[in-house]
Chains A and B, each alone.
Chain A
Amino acid sequence: MAQTESPLGAVATLASGLLFGFGLAWSTMIRPESVLDFLTFDDLGLLFVLGSAVGINLLAYQLVPRLFGRTLLGTAFQPRPFELDRPALLGGLLFGVGWGLCGVCPGPALAGLGAGNADLLIALAGIFAGALLHGLWAGRQAPATA
């Protein structure tokens, strides 16, 4: 069943993305060089980026559902469906190779584009193409599952 989106839900979603994107820019994660410097141990600042972001969400994900039961807008908390198997591990492996090759990941690619790095359009086109290839491949593997 399709969820009907309340106007408030849309506003909250937009605001969330905005804050996330602004934070990605502030932390310089939208510069591929910053990410690559982390992966080559030249600047470990990304640890503080990830640590702060995970720390806050640890509180949000662990405490808020227990304290309130439902979201502020009255909807249910959605689980993050994920099953660790061989293909997923292969996916993580490939993702890491791409990440180490160009220093881009999906969120920073979007935020970095907004901050004026037009080169990231190439990466975004690549990510869309990669997701398309995955979908075509997965659709062929298991055409019946939807």
Chain B
Amino acid sequence: MPVTLFPHGIAHYALGGTLMGLGVALLYVTTGRPGGVSTFFSSSWSWLLRGPFFRQDSFLESRHWRLVYALGLVLGGGLFLLAGQTVEASHIPAWKLALGGVLIGFGARLGGGCTSGHGICGMASLSAASFVMVITFLGTGIVTASLLKWLGV
């Protein structure tokens, strides 16, 4: 077991989470939109594809704001750099990012949301179904990451 549960302290976690929360809350309070991110990855296909699934009303109605929201997320990361902050380099193998990405994209869309949709908006809505979803992906996430760490992969 690790010596401490918070080897990097908690200040930046709490402040970062507060800023994230303010962003999602701002979206809801000004526009009434629940700020889940993963639908963006489905609704954006409607710009290119003609299949009935991708042309469903909920995508056509929301694809524009979801694109703007996603752009804001990218710019938010950029602003962090402009503010003189640095990000430690990451060393995740490409195959994990690729395979993980596909599972994340497929799973989030089949599961009706991701860590922002279920984790923030769903839980803030006190949705029991979202709680179940969070427990589910938290569970398989912990098992997968711990197993890979144990195997040394």
By a beta-carbon cutoff of 8 Å, the part of chain A in contact with chain B is 1-3, 5, 8-10, 12-33, 36, 39-62, 64, 70-73, 75-84, 87-107, 109-117, 119-120, 122-136, 138-139, 143-146
Say how far B39's CB is from chain A's closest CB, in angstroms.
Answer: 9
Contact between A40 and B145, CB atoms less than 8 A apart? yes
Interface string of B27-58 (1 = CB under 8 A from A): 11111111111101110110001011111111
Residues in B neighbouring A18, C-beta threshold 8 A: 23, 72-73, 75-76, 79
Residues in B neighbouring A130, C-beta threshold 8 A: 41, 101-109
20 residue pairs from A and B, CB less than 8 Å apart: A3-B61, A17-B71, A20-B23, A27-B15, A40-B142, A52-B21, A56-B18, A73-B31, A88-B111, A94-B140, A97-B103, A99-B144, A100-B142, A100-B145, A131-B38, A131-B109, A134-B110, A135-B49, A138-B109, A146-B55
Contact between A44 and B22, CB atoms less than 8 A apart? no
Residue of B at shortest CB range from A41? B2
Task: Please report the C-alpha to C-alpha distance between residue A48 and residue B16 in the assembled complex, in whole angstroms.
Answer: 9
Task: Please report the C-alpha to C-alpha distance between residue A10 and residue B27 in the assembled complex, in whole angstroms.
Answer: 10
Contact between B10 and A48, CB atoms less than 8 A apart? yes
Residues in B neighbouring A96, C-beta threshold 8 A: 107, 136-144
Task: Give the number of residue pairs across the A-B interface with Cβ within 8 Å.
Answer: 534
**A96-B138, A98-B102, A115-B77 are contacts. A20–B72 as well, Cβ < 8 Å?**
yes
The interface residues of chain B, by DSSP majority, are classed as helix
Say how far B35's CB is from chain A's closest CB, in angstroms.
Answer: 6
Contact between B110 and A90, CB atoms less than 8 A apart? yes
Contact between A97 and B29, CB atoms less than 8 A apart? no
What total of chain B residues lie within 8 Å of the partner, measured CB to CB? 125
Per CB-CB distance, the 8 closest pairs between chain A and chain B, nearest first, are: A126-B101, A17-B72, A21-B76, A130-B105, A27-B16, A91-B111, A114-B77, A100-B144
Pick the residue among B123, B124, B146 that contacts A60 (CB under 8 A).
B124
Say how far A34's CB is from chain B's closest CB, in angstroms.
Answer: 8
Say how far A98's CB is from chain B's closest CB, in angstroms.
Answer: 3
Contact between B80 and A26, CB atoms less than 8 A apart? yes
Contact between A17 and B61, CB atoms less than 8 A apart? no
Residue of B at shortest CB range from A51? B17
Pick the residue among B53, B73, B74, B111 that contacts A92 (CB under 8 A).
B111
Contact between A91 and B110, CB atoms less than 8 A apart? yes
Contact between B101 and A54, CB atoms less than 8 A apart? no
Pick the residue among B17, B73, B143 that contacts A110 (CB under 8 A).
B73
Contact between B72 and A16, CB atoms less than 8 A apart? yes
**A15-B72, A95-B114, A100-B143 are contacts. A111–B53 as well, Cβ < 8 Å?**
no
Contact between B110 and A94, CB atoms less than 8 A apart? yes
Interface string of B70-109 (1 = CB under 8 A from A): 1111111111110001011111101011111111111111
